[in-house]
Each structure stands twice: as C-alpha cells, then as structure tokens.
A and B are shown apart, each in its own frame.
Chain A
Amino acid sequence: DADVTQTPRNRITKTGKRIMLECSQTKGHDRMYWYRQDPGLGLRLIYYSFDVKDINKGEISDGYSVSRQAQAKFSLSLESAIPNQTALYFCATSDLGTSGSIDTQYFGPGTRLTVL
C-alpha cells in the first residue's frame, strides 16, 4: 500500500469553482507539504505544516488555503479556481528534520488539475 496517497488523481473543473485536494499518509511523519509542478518551473512550495497546529505559507500561497485535520491528513483548497492554477500538485511528508540533518521528503503520486 502507498505511504502517501492523494485524491483525486485527476480533476477537471471550471473557473470560479471551489476545489479540495486531499492527502493522507501512513508514514507517521509530522511534517507535510503541498507543491505544484509546472513545466520549466520545477516544484514550488505552496504551504507546509510541521505539526497539526502549525501552518505556514510557502513561496506561492496566494489563491490557496490548507487544513491539517490530523497528523495524517493535509488538504489543499482552491477557493475560486482560475486557469493559471492548472498544474500537477504533489503532497509530501517528512520526519522532523533538525539543522544539520537530512529532511528527506516522500511524495504522493500527484493530482493533475485542469481549470477551464
């Protein structure tokens, strides 16, 4: 069974609609992340959470919101989707990484979102 799952895997929606992408993990990790991947731009961090009560903005948080419902669940919402939010979205998890140690992240399979 996959350690990090994302639902849905594919979604087509219209401009102005509210969309929620969900992420669940069974790795027992405290840290969870949401990234988007665009051609030629690599992976960019949207939001991250280091524990259930901690939410932080990444480099491209405008137009997005998140909810950390439990240690294992981290949802990303697009309140009013627009076409330039069409992208591949990835959830990731990691252990608590302290300065001077690796903070290896484990990624879900991705959600391909198309906003028409």
Chain B
Amino acid sequence: DQQVKQNSPSLSVQEGRISILNCDYTNSMFDYFLWYKKYPAEGPTFLISISSIKDKNEDGRFTVFLNKSAKHLSLHIVPSQPGDSAVYFCAAKGGTFGNEKLTFGTGTRLTIIP
C-alpha cells in the first residue's frame, strides 16, 4: 500500500516558468513532509520541508504548500532553472514516538528546457 504517491513520473518545464510537483498521501498521522532532490550518480539531498501544522513554507525559489484536508502537497519552483533538472522525491515522516521513519514517494523527473 503506497502511503505517499507521486502520480507524475516526469514533468518538462520551460526555463523561467514555474514548475509544480505534486504529492498525495494517505496517512493523516504524518507530522512532517519533506522534498528531496536527486541528481544522477548522487544520493538524494534535502531541499525543503513543512510541518503538518503549516500550510506553506518558502525558501528562496522553492515553496511547499500543504493541503491537509486533501492530503496533498506541492512543490513550486519559480523561476525554474536548468540546474533544477533532477528527480524530486516527496517524503513523509511518521511513526510511533522514538520510531519515526520517512516514507518516500516514487519520484518525479523534472526536466527544464532552456
């Protein structure tokens, strides 16, 4: 049972435009959501996170929005740059106290077209 889903395997966006990556989850007990970025031949790197008690978190060109009623979050990148081309993983943190783990989505490959 996939608790965290990224339904778009790939996305292409023109340089300078907005990229919107989406993620859906099923477990209402998740308390944090994170986005990771992965380049080829490298490990994923942390990008941005949001607490379940917030609905928006912004860091430079990156903004994450959380809609708890819809169990949906999205990552907005604006303006998109060629260096943003990568695979993006959504992750959710949950579990019993002292045993929290991350559950990852399947990833979305973002390609920025110059």
Which residues of A does B touch, CB under 8 Å?
4, 35, 40-45, 48, 50, 56, 58, 90, 92, 97-110
Collect the chain A residues with CB atoms within 8 Å of residue B44's CB: 43, 90, 107
Are A107 and B101 in contact, CB atoms less than 8 angstroms apart? no
Let me know if B93 and A109 touch, CB within 8 A.
no
Chain B residues within 8 Å of A, Cβ to Cβ: 6, 9, 31-32, 34, 36, 41-46, 49, 89, 91, 93, 97-102, 104-107
Total A-B Cβ pairs within 8 A: 61
Asked whether A103 lies within 8 Å of B41 as measured between CB atoms, the reply is no
Other-chain contact of A108, B34, B43, B98 (Cβ < 8 Å): B43
Would you list the 7 A-B pairs with minimal beta carbon distance, nearest first? A107-B43, A42-B106, A43-B104, A99-B97, A42-B104, A107-B44, A104-B46
Q: How far is the CB of B105 from chain A (nearest CB, A)?
A: 6
Contact between chains at A104 and B42 (CB < 8 Å): no
